[in-house]
Amino acid sequence: MKVDLHRKYVRRCLLAIAAFSAGVFSIGWYVEPFSGDLARMGGYAERDFGWNGTQQGYPRPRFSLGAYEGYWDVVVLGDSFSFNESPFQWQNFFVATTGLSVITLDLRGGSPDAVLGSKAFRQHPPKLFIFESIERNLRQHLSHASSACPDLPRQTVRELQFARRPDESVAIKREHPLRSYLSHGYPLALLYRAVHRSVADEQKQAVRRFSLTRSDLFSSRSSDQLLVYEEVHGKPWSDAQVTEIRCGLRELRRRVEQNGITHFIAMVVPDRLTAYSDYVTDGQVRHLSRLADLTSDEPLTPGLLVALRQAIDAGTVDVYQPDDTHWGSAGHQIAARLLVDTINGQRTTPARELSASAAKLRKVSD
């Protein structure tokens, strides 16, 4: 009798576990595994916020993320918009256009001081040094800079020899390997974060959700919604902070270019809310950014903020990924074009060219 009761108990436990696992698996299959960082941190379903269609990218990177040794044409010091293995990285498109060799170093784990003082930089100075930072972390990334604010001559980049390489980009789909569906972790995490989001103070959430006045800017199912991370919690830069950032960039440029060989370019990536602010329905969070106040300063990449907004205005889909902090392929391609324009001495890419590119990129995303 005791043996039969024990067997029944074990069978019931196994059936309960199987039913629970089946339920969690079904939920996981429906909502899809996490892919973008905003969906993961905020507890939003990839089914609703994941991008659809295809985007142009490179299965194999055309730049290096390895140790900085020897000579490279271009040294990039950046955050996750640059130090990333995504197939859509702007460096891939930049290398395909210019043929220049590019190495990318992690700004989050290093500093300009370490790079400029390295043996490789001192003995084999590159032609270009690109300093890249997301807008919301720019002050933090420039905290190394001195209080000096040098008055530098107008910045120009000597013409470089480009050697366009064959276009090896391919259309890439957002796909999840089958094994990613077998985990209980992501559906349970989604449920926990969704419940936490419903009861927590909206103002203190790491990821915020805003409605848009347009529904054609993302390829996701929730195409009229914008997820943003942290930037709404910070106060707009004061006039003194804008001056501080400008001086920090000038001082960094002075140090980079003092060898007489290397040219400095800063690429400040607009926050998502900055890029899409014209279409956010919540008037209280519109136009909080002061990034536009920096765009006339020479060290900055000319026209990056303008170019991204022009592409968005023209209806380019997934300039930023709907579920992720970072650019989609369209945003990376725009950044690469603007860098090439900067090197070639052009201030901006004409709006009509960006509109034509937007139409082409929309077809890629369809």
Q: Order the strands of the 74-78 sheet from edge to edge.
A: 102-106, 74-78, 128-134, 263-269
pLDDT, position 234:
74
pLDDT value at 174 more than 70: yes
pLDDT, position 228:
93
Distance CA 141, CA 132 (A): 9
pLDDT value at 172 more than 60: yes
The better pLDDT of the pair 29, 196 is held by: 196
Amino acid of residue 138: L
Over residues 314-333, the pLDDT tens digits come to 999 999 999 999 999 999 99
Average pLDDT along the chain: 82
Q: Rounded mean pLDDT of 290-298?
A: 75
Domain ranges of the chain: 39-150+183-365
Over residues 266-286, the pLDDT tens digits come to 999 999 999 999 999 998 888
Q: Rounded mean pLDDT of 176-183?
A: 57
In this structure, what are the phi and psi dihedrals at residue 34, rounded to the nearest 5 degrees?
-60, 140
DSSP labels for 314-334?
TT-TTSB-TTSSSB-HHHHHH
Q: How confident is the model at residue 351 (pLDDT cuts 50, 70, 90)?
A: very low
Q: For the chain, how many residues are written?
A: 366
Over residues 101-158, the pLDDT tens digits come to 999 999 988 889 999 999 999 999 999 999 999 999 998 888 766 667 877 776 666 6
Q: Rounded mean pLDDT of 40-44?
A: 82
Q: Where are the beta strands (DSSP E) in the chain?
A: 54-57, 74-78, 102-106, 128-134, 170-173, 207-211, 225-229, 263-269
Q: Rounded mean pLDDT of 242-262?
A: 91
Q: Where are the beta strands (DSSP E) in 98-169?
A: 102-106, 128-134
Give this prediction's pTM: 0.84
> Which of these ranges, 144-148, 239-243, 254-258, 330-334, has the smallest mean pLDDT?
144-148
